[in-house]
Structure 1
């Protein structure tokens, strides 16, 4: 066994406590940076539109193209990290993300920016499953709760703080070029992450692991299936007519084919994704919770920033500040949730989901009861409640969902979980955004009504995640009673 802290060792025992946390810190910074770019661009859209003269379809691809390629890369990249070692894949992904961030900031046309965003999203999809796999690799059993708690805090904060940071950068850089700094800010952080990632992350893989194949047929089936499911969702505003929705059943058919192929391929060798993971009810129900939660959660910030800026005339900075209570609540609760999840289990997630639904409902109620009050002030307390709930959802649910996943499948298992999150985000933004824009288009002073309706729809989608959590709690209680009645 290599001495403690030896560079490149894949053995978690070769990493002392300090080295484990240093490696995790690098991974968390990378996760923050890649997930920040999901939401930070929202507040930059008005200035970006003016600077590049982009049309609505191009703006949609700037936002949604990132999510599309992000989702496509997750499972293959997670599997590749399982096979070849997470350090090399992580460093490649961060280097590509840094380069494409610079290219996006230098964009001279909408087409240039869209191409850079597509590559940037793919790079983000390469990075993220390596971080989750790293936690599975370096921490064992209950010790994973704290790092998963920190990861959950990073996920929640990055999504919520994106509009605030974007507003600050635009205010500092000016209305004409401030949007470029939304991308340039990634460059110095990315360079440091590449250097530290190469030095600190475990890199060596065993000969047995290195002989595994990537399963190219599985990659093609999964990629085509996810693309067909996501395309009509990300292009719903640009592709008119009902024919686009036929792509979704076609994509689902390909995903079914992917599942059948993976079952067959597992008899020949390790598959891209072991579908037997779905026989673990903790993994299946946890994945459903993540799918529905991100479907409601991500859409809220999309419509909130639009409502504040385009509907009420607030600046990008004020729009960003308005979601800060949610970010703060999420950060505090995620840190606590990660420490107590092993004690309370899925009921903790259910409490968090209930708080999110209640908080979002209170946001709509506050705006309705106080129509003339400043919206950022009247929504601060309800958003804080929702943020506290969110912190008890993301990290604990991820810990519970991946708790029984074997370490050799940690990257692909986490990749599939995050793919579900990306599909949920795209579907939620499509559904909630459709209600929002159709209500705005009805004319008159419809912005507030549009926000309230779409907000309640988002809360309803989160309620589906709560239902899945309650089903898991009921299943666990049945198992406990059955074991209690079993003869000793």
Structure 2
């Protein structure tokens, strides 16, 4: 069995599912006019995917750990492919929203298997490169989504081009399923865990995640402050989840091993991921709004304007994956500093070059931010999971990704709120609204930077406890 073949098909599937987080952004105007969606329905098309994605990550990761990752991966990929086809042929808002919810749930099943397979296939000293590739996949798929979406809409027309952002998943998914069945390692029946999958814990976590994400993804659609009571309810439910997991974990394997958060690299790495994704993914949301709605760029030109970030992220991810074992967390600190510098320079560029020249003016600053991003996502992924036992790799990676999805929802809600409030306050100035919202993005990245610096300065007591990496 060639483990790099297995890695390649896993990364292709991961790229495809993560691409659908951002590729829809540039297609929203076409979808809205084609299916006559209200603003609330459009929000569900964009955010419903993130909601069900985050909901399924942890239970799917736990299932893969206990019963084998290949079957979970193939089932999730098949569901993703079918739901993509369903989204492409949607004839109305309800159909499209249901397909997007199904897509997100399927993506939540696929993704934790990818990080789990890396832990399973590679020994600890070898994981820098595959985790680097995974980090590059996460970063580039999100950054390149607007460009690919713009290209497809340009190629197939504004009326129906949006359907091809979903259709493109079908042939790729079909090939990936066939290759996964052939190349991914199975798990002997005797190696599968016989114990409970902790249904109470899964249910409490699921309810808590939904209560937390729902007011975030509906932040603009639900007026008033009553929606935030759901977030308070989420805190109560998640506190109950923690208490249950502590009790259940004393007699069986819980859905989340809470002891992982006593490992410094995991706890701080998860915090870096949560806040960095809060800033990172919101950039493309608000920048696309500025370019398409404010400056009347076509979908293709709006996508091209984000390309420098994607190119920088791709180049630095390759370097970061190889250098992480040598430099460790200081590499992440360097990357975060570059992101802050690049985004601050973007604010300055838009101040001096307002209007339709924004795409050119921001090219170099976004390239710098992209280079920094490539040094954050790949190394942080590797460092955060470096001391996780193989038998918990899927669920640990799923918790990490759940944090990233929650961070994304929080970031888009906070940054989007600033953007639209400033848009109303400044009399419709899209440029001023974007610059104001970018400072909120920078604040998220600065919090991630503080967490990373804390990890660097915190004295290492026992950096490689016996047996932690091998499970």
Give TM-score, length-normalised by structure 1.
Answer: 0.93
Secondary structure of the 1:213 match is: coil
For 2:462 and 2:389, how far apart are their aligned partners in 1? Answer: 22
Does structure 2 retain, via aligned residues, the 8 Å contact 1:69–1:125? yes
Q: 2:53 matched to which residue of 1?
A: 70
- Is 1:420 paired with 2:403? yes
For 2:206 and 2:428, how far apart are their aligned partners in 1? Answer: 42
Q: How does 1:148-167 map to 2 (within 5 A)?
A: 148-167=131-150
For 2:37 and 2:339, how far apart are their aligned partners in 1? Answer: 35
- Is 1:296 paired with 2:279? yes
Q: What's the CA shift string for 1:360-413, capped at 9, x where partnerless? A: 010010010122561111101000000000000001001110001100000000
334, 351, 367: which is aligned to 1:384?
A: 367
Q: 2:325 matched to which residue of 1?
A: 342
21, 35, 40: which is aligned to 2:18?
A: 35
Q: What's the CA shift string for 1:296-315, capped at 9, x where partnerless? A: 00101000001000000000
- Is 1:91 paired with 2:77? no
Q: 2:183 matched to which residue of 1?
A: 200
Q: What's the CA shift string for 1:200-233, capped at 9, x where partnerless? A: 0011245253313211001100000000010000
387, 390, 393: which is aligned to 1:407?
A: 390
431, 441, 444: which is aligned to 1:461?
A: 444
Does structure 1 retain, via aligned residues, the 8 Å contact 2:131–2:381? yes
Give TM-score, length-normalised by structure 2.
Answer: 0.97
- The answer for unaligned runs of 5 or more in structure 1 is 6-18, 481-488
Does structure 1 retain, via aligned residues, the 8 Å contact 2:355–2:431? no
The answer to which of 268-277 and 367-376 deviates more is 367-376
Q: 2:9 matched to which residue of 1?
A: 26
For 2:426 and 2:131, how far apart are their aligned partners in 1? Answer: 46
For 1:419 and 1:401, how far apart are their aligned partners in 2? Answer: 14
For 1:86 and 1:308, how far apart are their aligned partners in 2? Answer: 41
62, 68, 74: which is aligned to 1:79?
A: 62
- The answer for unaligned runs of 5 or more in structure 2 is 464-471
Q: 1:321 matched to which residue of 2?
A: 304
Q: 1:122 matched to which residue of 2?
A: 105
User: Once superposed, what is the RMSD of the aligned Cα atoms?
Assistant: 1.2
Equivalent pairs counted in the alignment come to 463
For 1:216 and 1:477, how far apart are their aligned partners in 2? Answer: 36
Q: 1:56 matched to which residue of 2?
A: 39
Q: What's the CA shift string for 1:93-150, capped at 9, x where partnerless? A: 0000000000000000001000000000000000000000000000011200000001
Q: 1:277 matched to which residue of 2?
A: 260
Secondary structure of the 1:175 match is: coil
Secondary structure of the 1:226 match is: helix
For 1:341 and 1:285, how far apart are their aligned partners in 2? Answer: 16
